[in-house]
Amino acid sequence: MINASLKELAAALAAKQVSSLELATLFLERIAQFNPALNAFITVDGEKSLAMAREADARIARGEGGPLTGIPIAHKDIFCAEGWLTTCGSKMLSNFVSPYDATVIERFKAAGTVTLGKTNMDEFAMGSSNETSFYGPVKNPWDPAVVPGGSSGGSAAAVSARLTPAATGTDTGGSIRQPAALCGLTGLKPTYGVVSRYGMIAFASSLDQAGPMAKSAEDCALMLNAMAGFDARDSTSLEREAEDYTRDLGQPLAGLRVGLPKEFFAEGLSADVAQAVEAAIAEYRRLGAVTVDVSLPNMNLSVPAYYVIAPAEASSNLSRFDGVRYGWRAPQYGDLADMYCKSRAQGFGAEVKRRILIGTYVLSHGYYDAYYLQAQRIRRLIARDFVEAFRQCDLIMGPTSPTVAFALGDKAGDPVQMYLSDIYTIAVNLAGLPGMSIPCGFGNQGRPVGLQIIGNYFGEARMLNAAHQYQLATDWHRRAPTR
């Protein structure tokens, strides 16, 4: 059961081979057994989970179950969930029980899934290693001495260790794809605007997107079916007709044009990752795809532009955390200004403070034109590079991360090295495009390698098709850390 696909779980539930209550119990037991070493969950509340499972069983018994009804999943602790502690990995929200559901949570509830708990993450989703969490680092199930990636590292570790069949994540600069790569999972960041951001605690609003993290492309497609859709409560949510993301999974790949940007295979890519990614591309050729050399000439500007735009938006978004209405308030303070200062000084960790300082600086009078506007211009150039590239290809492929998972503590003292972990993922967020990572082998010390697949706008079904066909031909996605 712990390795079953979502489709297999749904079939077992429909055939009454297993109940939702039994499934929830099984995964809660695994969490109790393995989570203390992994630290993948911030909150687990068995009673709540079991109550949801009983409801799902009743719904299935009435014949009203859907494709995900009764299936347990975990949610990144960035999603507000009614009655659940919702911390965003921060001391600032360490006492915040959400009074409402994010749209993503609401949709999964409507689908009848069972919430297993809230997963650990980098504080306010700022990080690539899950070491900035107030709740401590998450360990990679493949090797407890290395990081799971971030910021959705808790979700990645939880799925990888089979503590949950699937999980939600969010991706502002790579936070679904990079941890998926480092933990040997399939993860998808949708086109900006496809999944509602309502109730998802904001980091950089023009970049943030929620998406699924699971064991396979097919599972991601089923998850995305539940997550995607217009929401009037998010002003950037796109009004489009609903799609069935599983519809093209079975299409053959003959004639698929795969673009290989030369910038993805240049200096900085470690040899073990390059080897696995090249082998995956060879497999795509065997499956009938043709490869085309393309170029994204402004790719090298994506990390610098991101580290102006994302902190700028974060400094604005995080100004709401002032200790007044909710969240951490300093126990002792003088006047109101002192209360703000002390509450924020105590409530935020070092990385969050660094981003607020950078963001406030680049938005300040006299620097706005030099940094923020300039970064926005670069953002436009990067988006244009992709438009050009997609004239010659249907999908773009390359590595997700320049290296396999690194040791805990390795990059924690060097922000710039940490920021470069997202060198291949960030441009996709700046352009608002959809991207995925799928397991494609193992690199140094047997650590997983991810292949990144980038689609054109609304190309989710096409990416999922390419990922699924590869997963029919290979078994990398079935490998799990032995337990």
- What track of x and - describes contact with ligand GLN for positions 132 through 171 (by CB under 6 A)? -------------------x-------------------x
Among 201, 422, 448, 452, binds ligand GLN (CB under 6 A): 422
- Which pair of tokens denotes residue 137? 């680092």
Least Cα distance to 385 among 474, 295, 305, 454 occurs for 295
Smallest separation, CB 402 to ligand GLN (Å): 13
In sequence order, what DSSP letters do the residues of 355-414 get, joined into one string?
HHHHHHHHHSTTTIIIIIIHHHHHHHHHHHHHHHHTTT-SEEEEESSSSSPPBTTTTTT-
Catalytic residue among 129, 175, 302, 315: 175
Which one of 65-73, 119-127, 279-287, 320-328 is the stretch in contact with ligand GLN (CB under 6 A)?
A: 119-127
Q: Which of residues 200-219 bind ligand GLN (CB under 6 A)?
A: 203
In the complex with ligand GLN, which residue's Cβ is closer, 284 or 306? Answer: 306
| Cα dihedral value 286, 287, 288, 293, nearest 10 | -70
Smallest separation, CB 18 to ligand GLN (Å): 35
Separation between Cα atoms, residue 149 and residue 379, nearest integer Å? 25
Strand-pair category, 395-399 with 448-455: antiparallel
C-alpha R_g of the chain: 21
In the complex with ligand GLN, which residue's Cβ is closer, 218 or 313? Answer: 313
Give catalytic status of residue 151 as yes or no: yes
125 binds ligand GLN (CB under 6 A): yes
Among 105, 116, 126, 396, binds ligand GLN (CB under 6 A): 126
Smallest separation, CB 124 to ligand GLN (Å): 8
Smallest separation, CB 151 to ligand GLN (Å): 4
Catalytic residue among 151, 237, 315, 401: 151
Least Cα distance to 477 among 218, 153, 176, 210 occurs for 218
Give catalytic status of residue 128 as yes or no: no
Tokens 């400094």 belong to residue: 315
| Cα dihedral value 60, 247, 440, 138, nearest 10 | -40
Q: Are 178 and 161 in contact (CB under 8 A)?
A: no
Q: How many residues does the chain have?
A: 483
Among 102, 310, 358, 449, binds ligand GLN (CB under 6 A): 310
Report the phi/psi class of residue 149: left, alpha or beta, with left for phi > 0 and alpha for psi in -120 to 50. Answer: left
Smallest separation, CB 332 to ligand GLN (Å): 32
In the complex with ligand GLN, which residue's Cβ is closer, 263 or 351? Answer: 351
- What track of x and - describes contact with ligand GLN for positions 174 through 203 (by CB under 6 A)? xx---------------------------x
302 binds ligand GLN (CB under 6 A): no
Among 89, 173, 349, 450, binds ligand GLN (CB under 6 A): 173
In sequence order, what DSSP letters do the residues of 12-70 get, joined into one string?
HHHTTSS-HHHHHHHHHHHHHHHHHHH--EEE--HHHHHHHHHHHHHHHHTT---TTTT
Separation between Cα atoms, residue 224 and residue 64, nearest integer Å? 20
Separation between Cα atoms, residue 207 and residue 406, nearest integer Å? 26
Q: Which of residues 62-101 bind ligand GLN (CB under 6 A)?
A: none
Residues 6+ apart with CB under 8 A from 365: none
Which one of 1-9, 122-130, 248-256, 361-369 is the stretch in contact with ligand GLN (CB under 6 A)?
A: 122-130
Smallest separation, CB 66 to ligand GLN (Å): 30
Smallest separation, CB 21 to ligand GLN (Å): 34
Q: Are 35 and 26 in contact (CB under 8 A)?
A: no
Among 103, 128, 160, 437, binds ligand GLN (CB under 6 A): 128
In the complex with ligand GLN, which residue's Cβ is closer, 112 or 190? Answer: 190
Among 72, 127, 165, 398, binds ligand GLN (CB under 6 A): 127
Among 87, 90, 172, 302, binds ligand GLN (CB under 6 A): 172
Smallest separation, CB 118 to ligand GLN (Å): 16
Tokens 């320049």 belong to residue: 402
- Would you say the C-alpha torsion 326, 331, 337, 342 has a positive or negative sign? negative
Site residues (vs ligand GLN, CB under 6 A): 125-128, 151, 171-175, 203, 310, 422
Residues assigned a catalytic role = 76, 151, 175
